[in-house]
Amino acid sequence: MKFIITLCLILQSFFGFSQLFQPKKAYTRQDTLRGSITPERAWWNLQYYHLSVKVQPSDSTISGNNLITYKVLKPAQVIQIDLQNPMQITKVEQDGQALNYKRDGNAFFVELQKKQLVGKTESIKVFYEGKPRIARRPPWDGGFSWKKDSSGKWFITTSCQGLGASVWWPCKDHMYDEADSMKISITVPKDLQDISNGRLLKVTDNADDTRTFDWFVANPINNYGVNINIGNYVHFSEKYKGLKGDLDCNYYVLPEDLEKAKVQFKQVPMMLKAFEHWFGPYPFYEDGYKLVQVSYLGMEHQSSVTYGNKFANGYLGKDLSGTGWGLKWDFIIVHESGHEWFANNITDKDIADMWIHESFTNYSESLFTEYHFGKEAGAAYVRGCRKLIGNQEPIIGDYEVNESGSGDMYYKGGNMLHTIRQVIDNDEKWRQILVGLNKDFYHQTVDTKQIENYISKKAGINLSKVFDQYLRNTKIPTLEYKVENGGITYRWTTCVDGFNMPIKVENAKGKYQFIHPSTEWKSLKGITELKIDENFYVNVKKG
C-alpha cells in the first residue's frame, strides 16, 4: 500500500527540497535481524501456520499462540522467531517439550532440543501475549486500530505492511519465505464478528461470552497480508464468472453503509474483468475474494482486501491524476485489488524491491481505465500522475535491512512501465508479458533481476539500461537536440552510462517513427523540430 505521497515528497516536488545531501541512514543490528536471511532463518522452509488469537477490547490486549510447521533444509538447532516489543513470548514448545529462548530486541532465538534432520517436517508452538502497538497512521504506520462504530460497537483492525506482521503475531517475518497455507482462529466478544483471510470454516460459541472464527487460507500468503477485522458486520455476496469458473465474492460492511456498499461495490466485477484481461486469472479462486470495510483507507490483505474510501469514486473523492479519469472509479477497489496479482501472487523477496508490488499496481489503475474507457484515457491517467513524482531518491531501497525505496515506486514506476510498453510497441505482446509474469511466477517470491530479465526476454529487447535509469537513478533521461544543416543532431543526457532507449518522434509527414539515440550525437535529416511521443517519460532539451 503506502501509495499516497507524503507531505515531505509533495514539498520536494513543489519547492525543490532535496534529500540528496542528507547522510545515508545508519542501520542497526535490529534492521539486519529483521531484513536479512539470517543463519537462524535460512536452515528451515516455512510450510504452515495455525495462528490462534484472543482479542480483548476491554484492555486492548491480545493473547494466543502460533503453530509453525517447517521443513528442515540443513542441520541446525537454533530457530529465529520474530515478535516486536511490547509483545512477549511466554512459552515455546516442540512435541510438548518446553524450549529455552533468548530475546534480542524484536527477534527471539529458540534452542531446539530435538535433533533437526534434513528433509523432516517439524513444528513448534509459540505462545504469546501483550498490548500490541497501536497504529499511528494506518495503513502507512500500522499496528492495531481500536475504534468504535457509530453505534458504539467495537471496530478493530490490523495493518502492518513495512512495519511487519511481527508487530502483532510471532512469525518468520521476512518476505522471502511464505506459508504454503494457513489457518487463522480469532476469538472475539460474542456480539462481534471477525473477518480474516481465506474461507470461513466454522464459528464456535464459547462459554465465556466469546466466539471463535476459524478461517483457512489454501494458498501461499505473505505475512503482512494476514489480517484481523472485527466489527458488527453485515454481509452480502455474489459469484463472478471468471477465467477459472465461479469466483465467490463476499462483502462485509457496517449496517449503516450497506446500501451505499451495494452500489459502490458493483465496481468489483468491473475490476475483475479488467484485471483478468490484463494479468490473467485472479490468483486465489480457492480462497475467494473479499472486500471488508475498515476504519482506515484500505490495504491489499490477501483475499481479504480492506476498504475505507467512503463509498466514493477517486481517492477520497479526489483524482490523483488531475485528468478527470480518476473520478470514474473507486481508487481503493481498483488499486488494492490490483495487488492481488502484484504483491500477493508475485511477492518481492526483499522489501527493497517493493516496486514490484507498487509500480505494477499503480500501472494497473491506468490499465483499468484503458479497459473500460479507452486507450487514450488510460494513457492520459498515467501521464497525469507525473506531477506527483519527486525524483529525489532511487526507487530501489537498501537490501537486507527491511528498507524500501522512495515513494516514486508508485507514479514513476507506473510511468516507467508505460514507457517500456511504448518501446515494445506491441500492445498484445505487452499484455502477454503481464499475463506471463503472473503465470510463470505464480505464488512465488521474486527479486528485481528476475522481473527485469523476464520482461527483456519476452520483449526481445535488452531493457537493462532502462531499468537502471528509472529504478536506480533519480534523473529523468533528457533527449537533447540541435538544429543543424536541414536536420537535427540528438543524444541522451542526464542518464546512466550506455543508456540507449529508442523513442518515437514525429517525422515530417506528421506521423511517429522510432529513432535510436545513445549518449553520442546522431543525425536525422528532414526534421527541424523534435516532437516526441508524450507517452515516453523523458525530458526534451533544445540546445
| Res 24: pLDDT | 59
Q: Is the pLDDT of residue 17 over 50?
A: no
| Res 15: pLDDT | 29
Query: Which pLDDT tens digit goes with each residue over 292-326?
Result: 999 999 999 999 999 999 999 999 999 999 999 99
Q: Is the pLDDT of residue 8 over 50?
A: no
Helix count and strand count (H, E) for the chain: 12, 28
Q: Write out the E strands in 160-314.
A: 181-189, 193-195, 199-205, 210-217, 229-231, 234-242, 245-253, 289-293, 298-299, 305-307
What is the distance, to the nearest Å, from the Cα of residue 487 to the centroid of all Cα atoms in its chain?
Answer: 47
CA distance 436 to 455: 9
Question: Could you tell me the pTM of the whole model?
Answer: 0.94
Q: Is the pLDDT of residue 19 over 70?
A: no
Query: Which pLDDT tens digit goes with each residue over 485-513?
Result: 889 999 999 999 999 999 999 987 789 99
pLDDT averaged over the chain? 95
C-alpha cell at 22: 542528507
Q: What is the mean pLDDT of residues 436-461?
A: 98
Q: Identify the band that residue 1 occupies on the pLDDT scale cut at 50, 70 and 90.
A: very low
Q: Is the pLDDT of residue 12 over 80?
A: no
Return the sign of the alpha-carbon dihedral for residues 187, 282, 378, 324.
negative
Q: Identify the band that residue 526 occupies on the pLDDT scale cut at 50, 70 and 90.
A: confident
CA distance 503 to 512: 10
Return the sign of the alpha-carbon dihedral for residues 350, 354, 355, 357.
positive
Three-state DSSP class for residue 184: strand
Residue 355, judged by CB atoms within 10 A of its CB (0-12, 13-18, 19+), counts as buried
Query: Which pLDDT tens digit goes with each residue over 224-236?
Result: 999 999 999 999 9
Three-state DSSP class for residue 241: strand
Query: Which pLDDT tens digit goes with each residue over 242-266?
Result: 999 999 999 999 999 999 999 999 9
C-alpha gyration radius of the chain: 25
| Res 528: pLDDT | 84
| Res 262: pLDDT | 98
Q: Identify the band that residue 268 occupies on the pLDDT scale cut at 50, 70 and 90.
A: very high
CA distance 176 to 360: 19
The DSSP-derived string for 280-317 is -S-TTTTT-EEEEE-SSSEE--TTSEEE-STT-SBBTT
Q: Identify the band that residue 7 occupies on the pLDDT scale cut at 50, 70 and 90.
A: very low
Asked if residue 158 lies in contact with residue 227, where contact means CB atoms within 8 angstroms, the answer is yes
Top-confidence residue, 530 or 329: 329
- In this structure, the strands spanning 78-82 and 61-72 are unpaired
Q: Identify the band that residue 159 occupies on the pLDDT scale cut at 50, 70 and 90.
A: very high
CA distance 90 to 27: 29
| Res 10: pLDDT | 34
**Neighbour tally for 462: CB within 10 Å:** 11
Q: What is the mean pLDDT of residues 268-287?
A: 98
Q: What is the mean pLDDT of residues 163-188?
A: 98
Three-state DSSP class for residue 105: coil
Q: What is the mean pLDDT of residues 178-202?
A: 98
Asked if residue 477 lies in contact with residue 538, where contact means CB atoms within 8 angstroms, the answer is yes
- In this structure, the strands spanning 100-104 and 346-348 are unpaired
Three-state DSSP class for residue 511: coil
What is the distance, to the nearest Å, from the Cα of residue 130 to the centroid of all Cα atoms in its chain?
Answer: 28
C-alpha cell at 400: 537486507
CA distance 367 to 361: 10
Q: What is the mean pLDDT of residues 174-185?
A: 98
Q: Identify the band that residue 23 occupies on the pLDDT scale cut at 50, 70 and 90.
A: very low
Query: Which pLDDT tens digit goes with each residue over 104-156?
Result: 999 999 999 999 999 999 999 999 999 999 999 999 999 999 999 999 999 99
| Cis peptide preceding 57, ω within 30 of 0 | no
Q: What is the mean pLDDT of residues 433-446?
A: 98
CA distance 283 to 528: 51
CA distance 51 to 170: 9
Asked if residue 80 lies in contact with residue 172, where contact means CB atoms within 8 angstroms, the answer is yes
Percent of the chain with pLDDT over 90: 93
Q: Considering only 13-27, 231-245, 312-326, 397-411, which range has the smallest mean pLDDT?
A: 13-27
